[in-house]
């Protein structure tokens, strides 16, 4: 047990498993039988579970006797300080902040009676310290990512030989180029299907996200910028069908193993490709930060479209049609700015040997 960094659920103390199950009881909000975490989406629950597994894994390795205590009783300032020290020794400040944030949210739904104000204050302090050093320096302007993606697709086509490697180059290039112009979350990215989410519209394509595909539970639309229309068309007609068993599933992102690419694999692809090209491993969410940063620095007069670009319009149900139009319009304007900057700035400077 001491060697497990993330303690598997089956090895959790009984009290922790019981508290976790109680937190997500559907129940009834009116008779107060609903668990504090019942409203959370499956993806959010998985994220919190990983964070809590890391906390229990730390205790199993460094303070196993604490596992015999009640979940709330074992979480003290002293143990938390030791946990933070281990996390900081392992990696970046952002990793530590994310882990403590997950622990804080988990304790709030599994032991809400304790409030956890002190834990929230520590979480906030760690988050504030992590942002400047870890995030801004890794961002690459969207037009450079767009240039990388288009270059990868053009390079794959020029080989005139569809090997597994060139197929992946084209697919990954399309992935990067699309994210550069439409910086959606990775869960939304993974949800895209050929028949349900992509619609032909004259000489272009309209990409649609349904409420269940988005964090805000709201529909989103994006009319594909003309620069990517021929690339998506080629991918759908010529590239995607060549992937193993691609016709057996509807996911836009086919893999060489015959199955759709999941959200985590898409994240790994983005990190690997940007690291190789720019020496900076950008996460999918960093594409969203880069979009906002690009507008704030290069086109400050356009910062008003940031909420629409990042799908952060008003959540009021009565405004859903307004939000859909606002998001679509903002995405088109953002894509127009990115492609214009790409033309003016010329080819992106990439890491040699990438």
And the tokens for 262?
């999941």
What SS3 class is residue 122? helix
Q: Do 32 and 106 lie in a common domain?
A: yes
Q: Do 198 and 340 lie in a common domain?
A: yes
Residue 123 lies in a domain: yes
| Predicted structure pTM score | 0.61
Please give the Cα distance from 51 to 7 (Å, whole number). 10
Determine the pLDDT at residue 130.
74
Q: Do 209 and 322 lie in a common domain?
A: yes
Domain boundary among 78, 111, 134: 134
**How many angstroms separate the Cα of 285 from the Cα of each of 101, 153, 188?**
17, 23, 12
Domain boundary among 73, 106, 134: 134
Please give the Cα distance from 209 to 61 (Å, whole number). 43
Please give the Cα distance from 145 to 5 (Å, whole number). 34
Residue 85 lies in a domain: yes
Please give the Cα distance from 334 to 124 (Å, whole number). 31
Instruction: Please report how the helices 142-158 and 263-278 are oriented relative to each other, as an axis angle in degrees rounded to 10.
Output: 90
Q: Do 313 and 328 lie in a common domain?
A: yes
87 backbone φψ class: left, alpha, beta (φ>0; ψ -120 to 50):
alpha
Q: Which of 145, 135, 138 is nearest to 277 (CA)?
A: 145
Name 208's bridge partners. Answer: 221
- What CATH number is attached to the domain comprising 334? 1.10.443.10
Give the max Cα distance, the chain. 66
Q: Do 193 and 101 lie in a common domain?
A: no
Q: What is the pLDDT along the chain (354 residues), one digit of tens a residue?
A: 345 788 999 999 999 999 999 999 887 656 566 788 888 888 788 889 999 999 999 999 999 999 999 999 999 999 999 999 999 888 777 788 889 999 999 999 999 999 899 999 999 998 888 765 455 667 888 888 999 999 999 999 999 899 999 999 999 999 999 999 888 889 999 999 999 999 988 889 999 999 898 877 878 888 898 999 999 999 999 999 999 999 999 999 999 999 999 998 999 999 999 999 999 899 888 888 887 777 655 555 554 545 555 655 443 433 443 344 445 555 666 676 577 767 766 655 555 443
Phi/psi at 207 (5° precision): -100, 130
User: What ranges in the chain are assigned the alpha helix state H?
Assistant: 14-23, 42-62, 71-74, 77-90, 93-110, 117-134, 142-158, 164-181, 186-191, 229-234, 263-278, 284-298, 306-309, 320-345
Q: Which of 57, 125, 129 is nearest to 93 (CA)?
A: 129
Range of the domain at 325: 141-345
Determine the pLDDT at residue 332.
62
And the tokens for 124?
């906030």
Q: Do 117 and 191 lie in a common domain?
A: no
Domain boundary among 117, 134, 151: 134
Residue 3 lies in a domain: no
For residue 154, how far is the Cα from the chain centroid? 27
Task: Judge contact between 36 and 108, C-beta under 8 A.
Answer: yes
Q: Do 93 and 159 lie in a common domain?
A: no
Q: Do 188 and 155 lie in a common domain?
A: yes
Determine the pLDDT at residue 207.
93
Determine the pLDDT at residue 325.
43
Determine the pLDDT at residue 352.
42
Domain count, the chain: 2
């Amino acid at each position: 047990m001491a060697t497990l960094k993330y303690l598997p659920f089956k090895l959790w103390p009984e009290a922790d498993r019981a508290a976790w199950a109680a937190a997500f009881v559907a129940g009834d909000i009116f008779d107060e039988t609903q668990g504090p975490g019942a409203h959370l989406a499956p993806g959010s629950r998985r994220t919190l579970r990983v964070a809590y597994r890391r906390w229990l894994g730390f205790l199993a390795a460094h303070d196993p006797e604490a596992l015999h205590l009640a979940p709330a009783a074992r979480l003290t300032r002293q143990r938390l300080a030791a946990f933070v020290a281990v996390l900081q020794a392992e990696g970046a400040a952002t990793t530590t902040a994310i882990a403590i944030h997950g622990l804080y949210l988990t304790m709030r739904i599994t032991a809400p009676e304790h409030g956890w104000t002190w834990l929230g204050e520590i979480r906030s302090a760690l988050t504030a310290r992590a942002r400047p050093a870890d995030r801004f320096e890794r961002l690459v302007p969207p037009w450079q990512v767009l240039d990388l993606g288009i270059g990868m697709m053009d390079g794959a086509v020029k080989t005139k030989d569809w090997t597994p490697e060139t197929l992946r180059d084209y697919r990954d290039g399309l992935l990067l180029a699309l994210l550069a112009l439409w910086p959606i979350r990775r869960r939304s990215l993974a949800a895209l299907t050929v028949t349900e989410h992509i619609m032909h519209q004259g000489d272009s394509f309209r990409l649609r996200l349904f409420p269940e595909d988005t964090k805000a539970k709201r529909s989103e639309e994006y009319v594909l910028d003309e620069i990517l229309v021929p690339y998506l068309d080629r991918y759908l007609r010529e590239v995607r069908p060549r992937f193993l068993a691609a016709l057996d599933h509807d996911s836009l992102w086919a893999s060489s193993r015959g199955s759709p690419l999941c959200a985590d694999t898409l994240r790994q692809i983005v990190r690997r490709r940007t690291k190789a090209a720019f020496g900076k491993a950008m996460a999918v969410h960093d594409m969203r930060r880069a979009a906002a940063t690009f507008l704030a620095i290069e086109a400050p007069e356009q910062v008003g479209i940031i909420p629409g670009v990042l799908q952060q319009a008003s959540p009021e149900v009565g405004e859903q049609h307004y939000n859909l139009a606002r998001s679509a319009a903002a995405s088109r304007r953002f894509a127009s700015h990115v492609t214009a900057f790409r033309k003016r700035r010329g080819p992106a400077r990439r890491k040699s040997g990438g």
